[in-house]
Structure 1
Amino acid sequence: MSEHAAERRVGQHLKTLPCKKHTGAWITLTVLMLLLIALGVWGYHTYRQARYVMAQEQSVMTQAKKITDKAKIAVKAQDLVTLKALAKDPTLEQMKTETAHAQAVMHNRNWTFLSHIPVLGNDVKVVQHLTSAAHDAVSDILPQFLNPLSSLVDQKWQENGQINLQPLLAVESQLTQGSKQLNSLTSDIQKLPHARIGKIEQARVKLVTKLVPLSRQISKSLDSLQYVTKLLSSPEEKTIILASATTAEIHSSNGLIGSLGNMTVGNNKIQMGEFHSNSEFESLGKIMDSPEAERIFNGDEHYYSMDIRDVTIDPDYDKVAKHIMNAWQASAYRVNNQPLGVLMVDPVFVQELIKLTGNVSTPIGIQVTGDNAAAFLQNGIYFESTSNKVQDTIFGVVTAQAVHNIVDNLNPMTAIKIAKVIPDFAKQRHISFYSTDPQLQKIAEDMNLTPRAQSSETKPQIGLYVNSNMASKMDYYEQRNVSVQQTAGPQQDGVTGQRTYTVTLTIQNTLDPATVGNLPIYISGGEAGHLKELLLAYAPQGGTIASQGNEFVQETWNGKSLLRTRFNILPGQQATYTFQVITSPKATTGLTVDQSPMAR
């Protein structure tokens, strides 16, 4: 082959080969396509993992609600078997498994890599922390509470007149450890940064909103339990004065005091003393020595004697309790040491105790139950007997037996049931407590058991207090309704600012006019069937109150501003009072209403 022919063949062959430039482009395109496919697969896989974690966490929340609902139903039904088995409930194991899976997924290589990406990584870290927190809560913290509580439910705390504190002491350290772990976990979650992705931020906020009050409440409850245990086990026995009031003859804090009794606590015992009629303390004479009170209550007409029967006209329960302690210590029943405190209850709360602990038989043969106690003690008793001595005896017997039933059958179930109802009854002033022991008083304050007028600028409250201005039990027929309408200022709680409200109070005399003649004089009073009352209206602390259309007198009592007026409502009629209320500029919540308790 000639040299030229060879060159022609090589040239033809080279033309058939692809250009190097084109080859590089194809290789780059192929690699990019493979990367895109890989990223797509990885992204889809990561998306599925995210959905899986969300589903697992939602499932855990659902399971937790099931456990909570099961516990509530068991407590209500006194189902000790279910309560005892809660610590080993299969649902808990399922929750542990699901939180463990979610935690493992969020800490795999995919999510660990994503956690280092700017902006997005912050949200990934939040989710990682939340999944770890959920697993820790279910696996470590929850058992610290369920295990000891399951061991307590069928224990009896009272044996042969002695309080058996051993079951409580045996689980105290485990409950305390659980509380510390919960507080630590809550603190860590509070420190997490805000997430940019809406759903993640919602989950974080929701968890913080639930955990913070829960951890605080558990800590307070354990502190209270430990201190009460300490008091009960102390070798020094202390006296708590018991005051039985009747809201059928209403005063600001509660009703007229019908009798006083006492119980002692300490040396692993709770012992009930006897109740004594208010007539035994009337001879002590005036207990409230206040020119302001005299002017407000007796300035127009002299009705109040300011003795033991009238001390509840003061809406500040701490002052009421101190008057009662002074009366007790001036009587034949005085104790050597300062009383530990004063517990006041009325027939509405006594009825609830009877409902929880068992019926009571009266000296006149009538069975008092959890359905009829309030009506009998405030109304029916006066149809059965006209003797003040018999009436006072029955009041004392019923109240004392109700407390006896609690002490004699003291166990976790009884304690839980009573603890659940106290907040609502305390809010309505059917039960109040004040202690001379600072730590015990702090517990009382936390439970809102020591109500006062004008107690807070940041949490504004109007006080509407009614005082019977006639010797009768007509307040059994009194019904009150209060409406609150905001007209200016911040609408949301948590926002600081002055708020303005229109508050309307309606008071109704529900007695049927046709039945007035059938009432005993002890019920109907000197002006048969009338509601003859003195109304005190307190402005919120740092705020103002003004009446709209009604005649009120401006007063000051104990350094607090108020309005007062008197009214007389006939059977079947009603009266309406309207106020403009302005809160302090420091207010951070909406206006609430504190008022004298009602008989039913």
Structure 2
Amino acid sequence: MLLAVVVALAGWFAVSALKAKTEVQAAVQSATTLSGQVANGDMNGAKASIGAFGEHIDATYRQTSNLAWMAATLIPYYGDDVRAVRDVVSILHDVSANALPDLTQAAGELDPTTIGIADGTIRLGGMQQAAGRLTSANTVIADAADRFRQIGGTHIGRLTDMISQAQTRFDQLASLTDIVTRAANVLPSMLGLAGGDGTTDGSAAGGSTRTYLVLVQNNSELRATGGIAGSWGTLTVSDGHVSISDFTSTSQQWDEPIADLTPDEKTLFGTKMAFFQQDVNFTPDFPRSAQIATVMWQRLSGQSVDGVISVDPVFLQNLLGAVGGMTLPDGTVLDGGTTAQILLNQTYFDKTSQDEQNAFFTDTASSVFDHIVASTGGDNTALVKALVKSVTDGHAYVWSAHEDEQTQIADTAISGALETDPARPVTGVYLNDGTMGKMDWYLDRTITAAYDKTYPNGAKRYTVTVTLTNTLDPVTAANLPELIRGYEDGDTSRPRHGEIDTVIHAYAPAGGRLADWTMTGSGIGDGQFDAITTHEGLTVGSKNVILEPGESMTLTFHVITSAEGGDSEMILRTTPQSK
């Protein structure tokens, strides 16, 4: 009789496990589909996917809560695996019961297809209306994601892989929800919007006015966050209505430092970032650059600002690809495929003096912003995608002078802040130019990271590979305009001959370390870092490399993350590409 009961329970469990597996796979597929639907502005589809996710999880929960599963947890050795599955399902059921209702209502209030700019007005597609429900759902989902990460491996390889895949998909859902929630909470105030649904009726009544300093970086002369801050202007928003000031070139140099630099900053970057407008972003920590820039702007203009926005020609190119190209007064055509090349390289052949080049760059920045703001009838979904891609790739950063807003964006990609939390492993590779020309258009950069292994304490090792190549040949280099080639030590009587002078800064993750490194190729000297120091508690190795035309070098280093990082995958953050 007992044997018959055991056999019956085993059979029941086998059938139930198969049903649970099918339901979980369907739930994972719904979550995967959801991300794409939100990205494409299909909120009706998103609501359907949210509903399907909940139905599949609820069905799985019913299966794993029955007597057969409870009995299976008592099985020696494999009982732990059964408990792991039940824990996963319990977490997801909590999300289904306590987050999905709010998420479904929020999806009904959001309309991403109306998020964008039209006739000089920014519209948020119902973000304000959905903010409360998004916040409630996000709290539950974030807690669930933390609990999910605590579930370890099992004795069955395929089961461990399934749980790992489910964790990855859920992390993606949690990340998407968190980003949308932060945007819904912070954008209305940053844009001075008064309407409860994120729209404006055409008047500024009831809204507020915000003014932001805008830095346009020039990636052909590298700085850690992109390139020299070559043009500065302001963007003013009143209840969603946008106006752009004229941009000016940045040539100001102060006799006294604008900011007190830390010993770490002086060791790594020298003191120029406290004296020169163009050099505020030698540091990869954008909030620090922004704070220094606001002081400089106040000294220059007497104007206080609510924050700083940094963009580059690749950002402008991405947005023109979404809203449509434009023709400048001199006949130059800028669009989604040509803007970066024209602004970062071609102009230095077409304009023969530095004054002409500066004027073209600043006038173009103003014209492009005016064109984007005044655009009508464009593809709002394409515009949102262009913005997201630009932020993801490091071509746009934002800092708010309002503490509550900065707190919301501080640990997102758009903040450009150094990550100092050991639980969030980030390795950085940042480049600063020493050529003092516009040669970095010809610097090919390949930077990759690959997982190696996990240590018993949970720390992980990764291999990071950095390859830099001067893509010019000597003959072409010798015929470049001097303003591209640059000058030795800034001395205009000593033009360079085509070499590219670059400082590489390799940042270890917070709580981690640079384990070892090798350098091969040209311009590496003794093959060691010139200095190993710290910045905001992060270990940094720095190397100055000079590559002649056609030369290349490779730096390979291993980083070990903190054990506090747990199962979190390391993120590689780099100076953004120029093309």
TM-score when normalising by structure 2:
0.73
Please tell me whether the aligned partners of residues 350 and 402 of structure 1 are also in contact (alpha carbons under 8 angstroms): yes
Matched, 1:51 2:18: yes
Question: Paired residue for 2:335?
Answer: 369
Stretch of structure 1 that moved more, 417-426 or 140-149: 140-149
Larger helix percent: 1
Question: Paired residue for 2:307?
Answer: 341
Please tell me whether the aligned partners of residues 530 and 568 of structure 1 are also in contact (alpha carbons under 8 angstroms): no
Question: Paired residue for 1:476?
Answer: 441
Question: Paired residue for 1:255?
Answer: 227
Question: Paired residue for 1:550?
Answer: 527
Structure 2 CA distance for partners of 1:364 and 1:305, relative to 1, 3 Å: farther
Structure 2 CA distance for partners of 1:165 and 1:465, relative to 1, 3 Å: closer
Q: Which has the larger radius of gyration?
A: 1
Structure 2 CA distance for partners of 1:431 and 1:99, relative to 1, 3 Å: closer
CA distance, structure 2, for counterparts of residue 188 and residue 93 of structure 1: 23
Stretch of structure 1 that moved more, 587-596 or 46-55: 587-596
Stretch of structure 1 that moved more, 281-290 or 186-195: 186-195
CA distance, structure 1, for counterparts of residue 498 and residue 100 of structure 2: 57
Equivalent of 2:276 in 303, 307, 312: 307
Structure 2 CA distance for partners of 1:432 and 1:494, relative to 1, 3 Å: farther
**How far off is 1:359 after superposition?**
1.5
Alignment of 1:247-286 (within 5 A): 247-279=219-251, 281-282=252-253
Question: Paired residue for 2:357?
Answer: 391
**How far off is 1:246 after superposition?**
0.9
> Gaps spanning 5+ residues in structure 1: where?
1-31
CA distance, structure 1, for counterparts of residue 309 and residue 149 of structure 2: 39
Post-superposition CA distance 1:155-184 (Å, at most 9, x none) = 366676555568333333443454456467
Matched, 1:330 2:309: no
Question: Paired residue for 2:399?
Answer: 434
CA distance, structure 1, for counterparts of residue 273 and residue 411 of structure 2: 33
Equivalent of 1:513 in 474, 487, 503: 474
Question: Paired residue for 2:409?
Answer: 444
The letter for the 1-side match of 2:276 is: D
Task: Give the number of aligned pairs.
Answer: 541
CA distance, structure 2, for counterparts of residue 65 and residue 579 of structure 1: 34
Structure 2 CA distance for partners of 1:308 and 1:43, relative to 1, 3 Å: closer
Structure 2 CA distance for partners of 1:587 and 1:529, relative to 1, 3 Å: farther
Matched, 1:574 2:546: no
**How far off is 1:278 after superposition?**
1.5
Matched, 1:318 2:283: no
Question: Paired residue for 2:523?
Answer: none
Alignment of 1:80-99 (within 5 A): 83-86=42-45
Equivalent of 2:316 in 324, 344, 350: 350
Please tell me whether the aligned partners of residues 462 and 537 of structure 1 are also in contact (alpha carbons under 8 angstroms): no
Structure 2 CA distance for partners of 1:128 and 1:412, relative to 1, 3 Å: farther
Alignment of 1:80-479 (within 5 A): 83-86=42-45, 111-112=66-67, 115=70, 119=74, 142=100, 144-146=102-104, 148-149=106-107, 152-155=111-114, 161-163=120-122, 167-179=126-138, 182=141, 207=166, 210-211=169-170, 214-215=173-174, 218-219=177-178, 221-231=180-190, 232-233=192-193, 235-279=207-251, 281-282=252-253, 287=258, 306-331=275-300, 333-335=301-303, 338-404=304-370, 407-408=373-374, 413=381, 416-418=384-386, 420-426=388-394, 430-451=395-416, 455=420, 464-479=429-444
CA distance, structure 2, for counterparts of residue 377 and residue 51 of structure 1: 59
**How far off is 1:533 after superposition?**
1.6
RMSD: 4.9
Stretch of structure 1 that moved more, 467-476 or 305-314: 305-314
CA distance, structure 1, for counterparts of residue 455 and residue 478 of structure 2: 51
CA distance, structure 2, for counterparts of residue 198 and residue 261 of structure 1: 57
**How far off is 1:371 after superposition?**
1.0
CA distance, structure 2, for counterparts of residue 261 and residue 389 of structure 1: 18
The letter for the 1-side match of 2:409 is: A
**How far off is 1:324 after superposition?**
1.5
**How far off is 1:447 after superposition?**
1.4
**How far off is 1:213 after superposition?**
6.3
CA distance, structure 2, for counterparts of residue 387 and residue 184 of structure 1: 58
Alignment of 1:65-80 (within 5 A): 65-66=32-33, 68-69=35-36, 75=40
The letter for the 1-side match of 2:223 is: H
1:355 is paired with a residue whose SS is helix
Question: Paired residue for 2:578?
Answer: 599
**How far off is 1:425 after superposition?**
1.5
Structure 2 CA distance for partners of 1:493 and 1:442, relative to 1, 3 Å: farther
**How far off is 1:132 after superposition?**
7.8
Structure 2 CA distance for partners of 1:504 and 1:213, relative to 1, 3 Å: closer
Please tell me whether the aligned partners of residues 462 and 594 of structure 1 are also in contact (alpha carbons under 8 angstroms): yes
**How far off is 1:62 after superposition?**
3.9
Please tell me whether the aligned partners of residues 228 and 279 of structure 2 are also in contact (alpha carbons under 8 angstroms): yes
Structure 2 CA distance for partners of 1:573 and 1:180, relative to 1, 3 Å: closer
Amino-acid identity (%): 21
Structure 2 CA distance for partners of 1:504 and 1:369, relative to 1, 3 Å: same
Please tell me whether the aligned partners of residues 464 and 538 of structure 1 are also in contact (alpha carbons under 8 angstroms): yes
**How far off is 1:48 after superposition?**
3.8
The letter for the 1-side match of 2:103 is: F
The letter for the 2-side match of 1:550 is: G
Structure 2 CA distance for partners of 1:216 and 1:40, relative to 1, 3 Å: same
Please tell me whether the aligned partners of residues 382 and 523 of structure 1 are also in contact (alpha carbons under 8 angstroms): yes
Please tell me whether the aligned partners of residues 273 and 281 of structure 2 are also in contact (alpha carbons under 8 angstroms): no
CA distance, structure 1, for counterparts of residue 74 and residue 343 of structure 2: 68
> Gaps spanning 5+ residues in structure 2: where?
195-206, 488-494, 520-525
Equivalent of 1:492 in 454, 457, 476: 454
**How far off is 1:477 after superposition?**
0.5
2:126 is paired with a residue whose SS is helix
Structure 2 CA distance for partners of 1:61 and 1:344, relative to 1, 3 Å: closer
Please tell me whether the aligned partners of residues 96 and 138 of structure 1 are also in contact (alpha carbons under 8 angstroms): yes
Structure 2 CA distance for partners of 1:88 and 1:393, relative to 1, 3 Å: same
CA distance, structure 2, for counterparts of residue 49 and residue 183 of structure 1: 29
The letter for the 1-side match of 2:218 is: T
Alignment of 1:509-548 (within 5 A): 509-526=470-487, 527-538=495-506, 540=508, 543=513
